[in-house]
């Protein structure tokens, strides 16, 4: 008689438990066990509990291949679903195999679990394993299908209702509740203040501060005090929520109509623009990507977004200061060059137009496209092509937690008819065109921070904390991936032979980058080295890069004059005519400002069940070597947290967006 002891763990989330009957069948190389009812008076499968059961067989089952877990279809208890985390199977000889499950089981549902070491398809010699693997992917491909977002855009999931995706990748009950509660709380506050439908403009900046009674952060307070300062304006290009536009300028673009005389007064004594460019002290932000995008009419006025150009100077005190702004790509008499010496309100207005272009660039390109949508592509490709026993499924799936849910929800709440993004300057077709342009410019190199920063000539600019933290994070993730990937792929030939892996990257190339060879995204892998870099990029994009653009949204953009998504007037065509009243009339009206602030708050807070980078609450790997690599990864992240905290203690404005304790493992909001 062979006896197997099973420890069955129920998930610790709300409503995970059940009183229903479950049945287990163990399948081994030498046969299969009886279908065994897991019953110990029905109380074991409570939330967070481990129930221990015994499964016997007349003869040894040999090497365990599969575990079949069935939920009784007939029961009268009100609880419908049960979340099984894992089942640990022990033999009399104390051999232990973990069968990760991490699945919600409905009544009558059956799941087949694989245990033990992660395997690639060509390592599954037993026909039953190969068959199960094939069936799992067939099922996944029926659930997760690609759908073209729009003509010329990447593909997304073909499901529009978050409740229609499998429960294990949906928001948890507690997160869904918190998300809904916050939304209703914010709407109630806006309604109470008469901000929901108000088309009035703010009478003063002081009045604007009263938009929320409770929603403040130390950084948002700082921004509301310093948003007019030139050095804070410059600082944000490096350490705000969009540090991806600025680049070193060694030659002035032909369409930026600046003369030496114009900017000489703002440079160090006796210096010239040419000399400062040669020294590497001149930088530029160019929003050409916004050129010609159709804008909408808001409250009877045509809204504006500018394809602005802004020149910046790194002064001897190492402050990055704007020294000239042109609010359009084509120089002309009407397209003025604004300078720090202009009337205060003219210069401030010019900076607000740049902030508007930068905020739109951040939300659409840096945030939505280059993190949310790309992570959706990585998630779908993984769910369709890599079965749960595949080493890369085990490695990557924690980095996709809740990503499909938030993307589906975001499309419904932000992009739908009458939704939030109908209030921004660019009209719906223009928003899609902006995403299309963004995608066509998204290269593999631009997603890898070392290459991205080098291409922009920003290796040595001082006080660039995003760069410092991003490069260290990339290196830490890369070290982890460099350890774990070769453990499962000891040679290049194993990479080329893994057809599931090849299908995975082919789908990413096809559906995420539309077979654009110029993107540099690989369509196949030949070497372990290529695979390591790509997997590092996937994890970095789905965690760190998203944190860089997401965490500080309320801090930096919650003060609406610093992050307006819509502007109500065209840029001035003459100087000396504006006033603070002109600026208030140009900025978003009360309802737009209130709604922006509320949404940014909702997107920036930390939710209860957030999982920090490198934390893997689900035990998917069974191999001690892989578990040790995870521990080493966590230790490195912990050291970085100490270093960043120490650095920040000496800064007037701490850079917190890339602290590993704040970065989530996946895009969840
Ligand atoms: Fe986000």
Q: How far apart are CA 612 and CA 394, in angstroms?
A: 17
Is the model's pLDDT at 593 over the cut of 90? no
CA of 484 to the centre of ligand 1 (A): 28
Question: How many angstroms does the Cα of residue 407 sit away from the middle of ligand 1?
Answer: 9
- Residue 305 CB partners (closer than 8 Å, separation 6+): 290, 293, 295, 356, 357, 360, 425, 426, 567
Determine the pLDDT at residue 379: 98
For the stretch 397-441, pLDDT in tens is 999 999 999 999 999 888 766 677 777 899 989 999 999 999 999
CA 302 to CA 402: how far, in whole Å?
38
Instruction: Say how many Å lie between the CA of residue 161 and the centre of ligand 1.
Output: 18
CB 636 within 8 A of CB 476: yes
How far, CA to CA in Å, does 518 sit from each of 442, 443, 514?
10, 8, 11
Interval between CA 600 and ligand 1 midpoint (Å): 10
| Nearest Cα to Cα of residue 613 among 574, 662, 548, 557 | 662
Looking up tokens 């929603």, which residue turns up? 215
Separation of 14 CA from ligand 1 center, angstroms? 25
More confident: 390 or 296: 390
Instruction: Look at the alpha carbons of 334, 337, 338, 343 in this order and tell me if their dihedral is positive or negative.
Output: negative
Structure confidence at residue 462 (pLDDT) = 98
Nearest to 121 by CA among 419, 438, 362, 385: 385
Distance 547 CA to ligand 1 centre (A): 8
Query: What is the distance in A from the centroid of ligand 1 to the CA of 618?
Result: 23
Q: For residue 414, what are the CA distances in angstroms to 229, 368, 411, 429, 599?
A: 31, 11, 6, 15, 9
pLDDT tens digits along 25-35: 999 999 999 99
Query: Per-residue confidence at 71, pLDDT binned at 50, 70, 90?
Result: confident
- CATH superfamily, with its number, for domain 2-116: PLAT/LH2 domain (2.60.60.20)
Residue 212 — pLDDT band, cuts 50, 70, 90? low
Q: What is the whole-number distance in angstroms between the Cα of residue 479 and the centre of ligand 1?
A: 26
Return the structure tokens found at 211.
């938009």
Ligand 1: centre distance to CA 548 (Å) = 10
Residues 6+ apart with CB under 8 A from 397: 382, 388, 620
Q: Token pair for residue 230?
A: 């030139």
- Cβ of 494: how many Cβ atoms within 10 Å? 17
Q: Is the pLDDT of residue 211 over 80?
A: no
Mean pLDDT of 188-215: 79
Distance 668 CA to ligand 1 centre (A): 7
601-658: per-residue pLDDT in tens? 888 877 878 999 999 999 999 999 999 999 999 999 999 999 999 999 999 999 999 9
- pLDDT digit string (tens) for 75-96? 666 666 889 999 999 988 878 9
The per-residue pLDDT for range 313-340, each reduced to its tens digit, is: 999 999 999 999 999 999 998 899 999 9
User: Within 13 Å and on the Cβ side, how many CA atoms surround 282?
Assistant: 24
pLDDT of residue 420: 73
pLDDT of residue 77: 64
Q: Do the beta carbons of residue 312 and residue 233 sit within 8 Å? A: no
Residue 598 half-sphere exposure, CB side, CA atoms within 13 Å? 25
Cβ within 8 Å of residue 669, ≥6 positions away = 406, 550, 603, 607
What separation in Å is there between the alpha carbon of 515 and the centre of ligand 1? 26
pLDDT at 48: 75
242/50: higher pLDDT? 242
SS3 string of 608-631? CCCCECCCCCCCCCCCHHHHHHHH
Q: Token digits for 121?
A: 């398809």
Distance from residue 410's CA to the centre of ligand 1 (Å): 9
Spans of all domains in the chain: 2-116, 359-551+615-648
Closest CA to 122 of 488, 462, 433, 603: 488
Over range 198-220, report the average pLDDT. Answer: 80
How far is ligand 1, taken at its centre, from the CA of residue 288, in Å? 24
Residue 608, pLDDT score: 78
Query: How confident is the model over 568-590, as pLDDT tens digits?
Result: 999 999 999 999 999 999 999 88
At residue 40, φ and ψ (nearest 5 deg) are: -125, 70
- pLDDT higher than 90, residue 113: yes
Q: Quick one: which H or E segment has residue 23? A: strand 22-28
pLDDT digits (tens, 9 = 90+) for 342-369: 999 999 999 999 999 999 999 999 999 9
Q: What is the pLDDT of residues 263-306, one digit of tens each?
A: 999 999 999 999 999 999 999 999 999 999 999 888 788 889 99
| CA separation for the pair 399, 410 (Å, rounded) | 18
Residue (of 225, 223, 227, 230) closest to 341 by Cα position: 230
- Residues 150 and 134: their CA atoms lie apart, in Å, by 31
Token code pair at residue 652: 């007037």
Q: What is the pLDDT of residue 76?
A: 62
166 C-alpha to center of ligand 1: Å?
21
363 C-alpha vs ligand 1 centroid, how far in Å?
Answer: 9
| Distance (Å) from CA 408 to ligand 1 centroid | 12
**Residue pLDDT, tens place only, 531-545:** 999 999 999 999 999
For residue 604, the CA-to-ligand 1 centroid distance in Å is 8
Centre of ligand 1 from the C-alpha of residue 669, in Å: 5
Distance 368 CA to ligand 1 centre (A): 7
- Cα dist. 596→153, 186, 439, 529, 602 in Å? 26, 11, 25, 43, 10
> Do the Cβ atoms of 494 and 418 come closer than 8 Å?
no
Find where tokens 């307070």 sit: 221
| Mean confidence (pLDDT) of the chain | 93
CA-CA-CA-CA torsion for 318, 320, 322, 323, nearest 10 degrees?
30
Surface-to-core class of residue 226, CB atoms within 10 Å of its CB (0-12 exposed, 13-18 middle, 19+ buried): middle
Ligand 1 center–CA 667 separation, angstroms: 6
The reported pLDDT for the residue numbered 184 is 84
Mean pLDDT along residues 48-61: 90
pTM metric for this prediction: 0.95
Q: Ligand 1: distance of its center to the CA of 353 in Å?
A: 24
Among 100-114, 175-189, 301-315, the range scoring the smallest mean pLDDT is 175-189
Q: What one-character-per-residue DSSP string does 100-165 give?
A: EEEEEE-TT-EEEEE-SS---GGG--SHHHHHHHHHHHHHHHHHS-EEE-STTS-EEES---GGGS
pLDDT digits (tens, 9 = 90+) for 455-490: 999 999 999 999 999 999 999 999 999 999 999 999
- Placement of tokens 């917190």 in the chain: 656
Distance in Å, CA 413 to ligand 1 centroid = 13
> With pLDDT > 90 as the criterion, what percentage of the chain qualifies?
75
pLDDT(141) > 90: yes
**For residues 653 and 221, is the Cβ–Cβ distance under 8 A?**
no
d(Cα 85, Cα 80) in Å, to the nearest integer? 16
**CA 666 – ligand 1 centroid, Å:** 10
Using a pLDDT cut of 70, give the percent of the chain over it.
97
**In Å, what is the CA distance from 147 to each residue of 84, 144, 380, 489?**
31, 10, 11, 32
Q: Which CATH superfamily is domain 359-551+615-648 in?
A: Lipoxygenase-1; Domain 5 (1.20.245.10)
Report CA(455)–ligand 1 centroid distance (Å).
Answer: 25
Ligand 1 midpoint to CA 321 (Å): 29
Interval between CA 192 and ligand 1 midpoint (Å): 28
Return the pLDDT at 555: 93
pLDDT above 90 (res 200): no
> What is the pLDDT at residue 78?
62
Task: Return the minimum-mean-pLDDT range out of 157-171, 172-186, 374-388.
Answer: 172-186
Structure confidence at residue 321 (pLDDT): 98
């Amino acid at each position: 008689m062979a006896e197997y002891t099973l420890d069955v763990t129920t998930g610790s989330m709300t409503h995970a438990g059940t009183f229903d009957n479950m049945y287990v069948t163990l399948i081994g190389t030498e046969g299969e066990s009886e279908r065994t009812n897991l019953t110990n008076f029905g109380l074991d499968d409570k939330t967070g509990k481990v129930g221990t059961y015994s499964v016997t067989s007349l003869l040894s089952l040999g090497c365990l291949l599969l575990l079949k877990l069935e939920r009784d279809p007939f029961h009268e208890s009100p609880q419908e679903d049960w979340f099984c985390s894992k089942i640990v199977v022990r033999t009399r000889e104390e051999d232990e195999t973990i069968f990760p499950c991490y699945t919600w089981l409905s009544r009558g549902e059956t799941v087949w679990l694989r245990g033990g070491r992660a395997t690639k398809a060509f390592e599954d010699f037993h026909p039953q394993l190969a068959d199960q693997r094939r069936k799992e992917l067939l099922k996944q491909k029926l659930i997760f299908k690609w759908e073209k977002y729009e003509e010329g855009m990447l593909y997304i999931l073909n499901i529009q209702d978050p409740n229609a995706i499998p429960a294990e990748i949906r928001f948890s009950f507690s997160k869904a509740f918190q998300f809904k509660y916050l939304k209703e709380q914010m709407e109630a506050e806006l309604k109470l203040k008469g901000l929901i439908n108000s088309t009035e403009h703010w009478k003063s900046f002081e009045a604007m501060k009263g938009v929320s009674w409770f929603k403040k952060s130390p950084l948002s307070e700082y921004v509301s005090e310093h948003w007019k300062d030139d050095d804070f304006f410059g600082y944000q290009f490096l350490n705000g929520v969009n540090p991806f536009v600025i680049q070193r300028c060694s030659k002035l673009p032909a369409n930026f109509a600046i003369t030496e005389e114009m900017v000489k007064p703002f440079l160090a004594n006796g210096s010239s623009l040419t000399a400062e460019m040669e020294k590497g002290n001149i930088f530029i932000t160019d929003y050409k990507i916004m050129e010609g995008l159709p804008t909408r009419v808001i409250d009877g006025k045509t809204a504006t977004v500018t394809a602005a150009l802004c020149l910046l100077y790194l002064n001897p005190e190492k402050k990055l200061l704007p020294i000239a702004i042109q609010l359009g790509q084509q120089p002309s008499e009407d397209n003025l060059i604004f300078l720090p010496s202009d009337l205060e309100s003219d210069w401030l207005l010019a900076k607000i137009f740049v902030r508007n272009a930068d905020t739109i660039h951040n939300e659409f390109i840096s945030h939505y496209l280059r993190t949310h949508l790309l992570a959706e592509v990585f998630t779908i490709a993984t769910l369709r092509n890599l079965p749960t026993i595949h080493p890369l499924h085990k490695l990557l799936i924690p980095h996709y937690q809740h990503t499909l849910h938030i993307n589906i929800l975001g499309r419904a709440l932000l992009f739908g008819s009458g939704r939030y993004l109908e209030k921004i300057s660019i009209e719906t077709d223009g928003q899609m065109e902006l995403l299309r342009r963004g995608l066509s410019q998204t290269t593999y190199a631009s997603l890898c921070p070392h290459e991205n920063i080098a291409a922009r000539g920003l290796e040595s600019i001082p006080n660039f904390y995003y760069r410092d933290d991003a490069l260290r994070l990339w290196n830490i993730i890369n070290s982890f991936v460099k350890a774990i990937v070769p453990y499962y792929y000891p040679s290049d030939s194993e990479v080329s032979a893994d057809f599931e892996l090849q299908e995975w990257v082919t789908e990413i190339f096809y559906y995420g980058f539309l077979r654009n060879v110029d993107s540099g995204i690989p369509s196949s892998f030949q070497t372990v080295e290529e695979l390591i870099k790509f997997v590092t990029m996937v994890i970095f994009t789905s965690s760190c890069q998203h944190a860089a653009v997401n965490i500080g949204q309320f801090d930096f953009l919650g003060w609406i004059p610093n992050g307006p998504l819509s502007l109500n007037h065209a840029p001035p065509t003459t100087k000396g005519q504006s006033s603070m009243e002109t600026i208030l009339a140009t900025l978003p009206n009360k309802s737009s400002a209130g709604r922006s602030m509320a949404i940014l708050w909702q997107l920036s807070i930390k939710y209860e069940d957030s999982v920090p980078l490198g934390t893997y609450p689900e035990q998917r790997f069974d191999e001690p070597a892989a578990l040790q690599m995870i521990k080493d990864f966590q230790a490195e992240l912990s050291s970085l947290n100490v270093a960043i905290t120490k650095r920040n203690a000496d800064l007037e404005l701490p850079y917190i967006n890339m602290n590993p304790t704040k970065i989530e493992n996946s895009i969840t909001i």
